Amino acid sequence: MELYEAIYNRRVIRDFKNNVVPDEVLKRIINAGLQAPTHDHLRNWEFVILKNMEDKERALQFIKKGTEPQLEILKRTLVNGTLQQKMYAVAMPRQYSMLMNASHVILPFFKSTSGVLKPSCVSSLNPISSIWCVIENMFLAATAEGLACSMRIPVGEEGKNVADVIGAPENYLLPCYIGLGYPADDKPEVEQVQYKAEDKIHFGKW
C-alpha cells in the first residue's frame, strides 16, 4: 500500500474479526515502530504482547472499573450529540472488548525520566513525544498490512497497575494499550470532522 493511502485509510477500529495475526506480521509492525525518531538516540522502548485470554484478562482487568461510571454519564448526555459525543458513544462501551477481542494486545513501554510526569517545559515530555511517533508508525504499518488498531489511554492508576501485573520495571511507563487485528466488516462508521490544509496553515504570521 502506498504511504498516503495508508495515512488516509488509518482509523481507530474497535471491532475485530476472530482471525489471528501471524507473528511475522506483528514483527514487521513493531519494526516499523522502531524506525520512529527518538529524542535521545537510545530508542528505550519495549513491547509486551498479549495473545491468550488469560494474559489479556490479567492485564486488562483495571479497565472495567474505570469505564462503568463513565458509561452512566454517557447514557444521559449522548442523545442528539455532536460528532465528538457520537464518537464517545461508539468508543466508551468498547474500551474493554476492543482489546479483549483483538488478535493481539500490544503494550508499548517507554523509559521515563524524572521530569516526564512533572514537566517544566515541553522538552521534559520528550520520552512521551517519542513513543507517540512509534505508535503512529505502528498504526500506519498495521493499515498497510490490511489490519487496524484500537487504542486506549490508561486512566489514573491504570497504567501503573498494568505495569505491575505484567512485571515491567518501575521506570517504564505505558502510554496506551493497542489492540491489533483484522477490522470487522460490520464495524460502526465513526464520522470525523474534516479539515483541509487551507483551514489550518498560517503563512508568515498567525
Ligand X SMILES: Cc1cc2nc3c(=O)[nH]c(=O)nc-3n(C[C@H](O)[C@H](O)[C@H](O)COP(=O)(O)O)c2cc1C
Q: Does 11 bind ligand X (CB under 6 A)?
A: yes
Tell me which stretch binds ligand X (CB under 6 A): 54-62, 108-116, 148-156, 178-186.
Answer: 148-156
Of 13 and 163, nearer to ligand X (C-beta) is 13
- How many chain residues are in contact with ligand X, going by CB under 6 A? 8
Q: Which three cell numbers mark 101?
A: 477481542
Question: From the CB of 138, what's the least distance to ligand X, in Å?
Answer: 13
Of 25 and 131, nearer to ligand X (C-beta) is 131
The cell 461510571 sits on which residue? 69
x/- site string to ligand X, residues 45 to 84, per CB under 6 A? Answer: ----------------------------------------
C-alpha distances out from residue 119 to 56, 115, 128, 154, Å: 32, 5, 11, 19
Q: Give the side-chain half-sphere CA count within 13 A for 58.
A: 13
Binding residue for ligand X, selected from 16, 152, 158, 180, defined by CB under 6 A: 152
Q: Does 12 bind ligand X (CB under 6 A)?
A: yes
Phi, psi of 4 (to 5 degrees): -65, -35
Of 80 and 194, nearer to ligand X (C-beta) is 194
Q: Does 91 bind ligand X (CB under 6 A)?
A: yes
Q: Does 151 bind ligand X (CB under 6 A)?
A: yes
SS3 179: strand
SS (H, E, C) 93-123: HHCCHHHHCCCEEEEEEEECCCCCCCCCCHH
- What is the C-alpha to C-alpha distance for residues 46 and 136, in angstroms, rounded to an integer? 16
Q: Give the side-chain half-sphere CA count within 13 A for 76.
A: 4
Question: From the CB of 108, what's the least distance to ligand X, in Å?
Answer: 13
Question: From the CB of 91, what's the least distance to ligand X, in Å?
Answer: 4
Q: Does 187 bind ligand X (CB under 6 A)?
A: no
- What is the C-alpha to C-alpha distance for residues 12 and 148, in angstroms, rounded to an integer? 7
The residue type found at 85 is: Q
Question: From the CB of 17, what's the least distance to ligand X, in Å?
Answer: 18
Q: Does 86 bind ligand X (CB under 6 A)?
A: no
Binding residues for ligand X (CB under 6 A): 11-12, 87, 91, 151-153, 192
